[in-house]
């Protein structure tokens, strides 16, 4: 399997709890490298565009409000099977259903405030990386 990249957001709930470093530690312990990163606050327009695939879902407005409620840490991760590997590190979307030892189990609160986001496929990862990073940001 070739080296792959995926995209991560440490969400406002985890950032507020001083959890950026804890999530990065899990990423690195999981065999992935952080190859770019940025601390920022999403605008409402950015959050709506980033989560546009969910715009018909009943939780969309709440999700946008939550994702703009405080700063986030966006990053690009690299490693073997990075998309799948990071999803394993994160655990299930709903922290209540996530396996022990996963980021969402340990740092998430509920299905919305679930500590971190990871791309769901290599194609999505490429789009999500390009949403926040230019080619020249990536070593
Ligand atoms: P994320 O991996 O960022 O991708 C979409 C997000 O929508 C997801 O994590 C959750 O934060 C949120 N989400 C998914 N399903 C629900 C739900 N049923 N209720 C509220 N938020 C949800």
Kindly indicate the confidence band of residue 137, based on its pLDDT and cuts at 50, 70 and 90.
confident
Q: What digits encode the pLDDT tens for the residues 17-26?
A: 999 999 999 9
Distances in Å between the Cα of 29 and the Cα atoms of 42, 45, 53, 56, 72 are 28, 34, 31, 36, 21
Q: Provide the whole-model pTM.
A: 0.97
Q: What digits encode the pLDDT tens for the residues 24-71?
A: 999 999 999 999 999 999 999 999 999 999 999 999 999 999 999 999
Instruction: For residue 7, give the DSSP letter.
Output: E
Q: What is the pLDDT of residue 136?
A: 78
**pLDDT (mean) for 1-15:** 95
Name the packing angle between helices 122-132 and 82-90 (round to 10°): 80
Residue carrying structure tokens 């992935």: 32
- Which atom of ligand 1 is least distant from the CA of 51? 5
- Strands in 72-80's sheet, in edge-to-edge order, are 33-40, 72-80, 3-10, 116-118
Active-site option among 107, 117, 128, 133: 117
Question: Hey, which of 52, 93, 115, 127 would you mutate to test ligand 1's pocket, going by the most ligand atoms within 8 Å of its Cβ?
Answer: 93
Q: What digits encode the pLDDT tens for the residues 80-98?
A: 999 999 999 999 999 999 9
Q: What is the pLDDT of residue 1?
A: 67
Helix (H) or strand (E) holding 127: helix 122-132
Q: What digits encode the pLDDT tens for the residues 102-120?
A: 999 999 999 999 999 999 9
Q: Is 117 a catalytic residue?
A: yes
Name the packing angle between helices 82-90 and 20-29 (round to 10°): 130
């Amino acid at each position: 399997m070739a080296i792959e990249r995926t995209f991560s957001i440490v969400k406002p709930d985890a950032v507020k709890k001083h959890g950026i470093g804890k999530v990065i530690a899990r990423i690195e312990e999981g065999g992935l490298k952080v190859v770019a990163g940025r601390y920022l606050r999403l605008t409402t327009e950015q959050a709506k565009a980033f989560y546009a695939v969910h715009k018909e879902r009943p939780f969309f407005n709440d999700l946008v409000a939550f994702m703009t409620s405080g700063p986030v840490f966006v990053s690009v991760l690299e490693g073997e099977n990075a998309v799948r590997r990071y999803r394993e590190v994160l655990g299930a979307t709903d922290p209540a259903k996530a396996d022990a030892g996963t980021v969402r189990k340990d740092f998430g609160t509920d299905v919305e405030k679930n500590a971190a986001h990871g791309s769901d496929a290599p194609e999505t990862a490429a789009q999500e990386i390009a949403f926040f990073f230019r080619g020249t940001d990536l070593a």
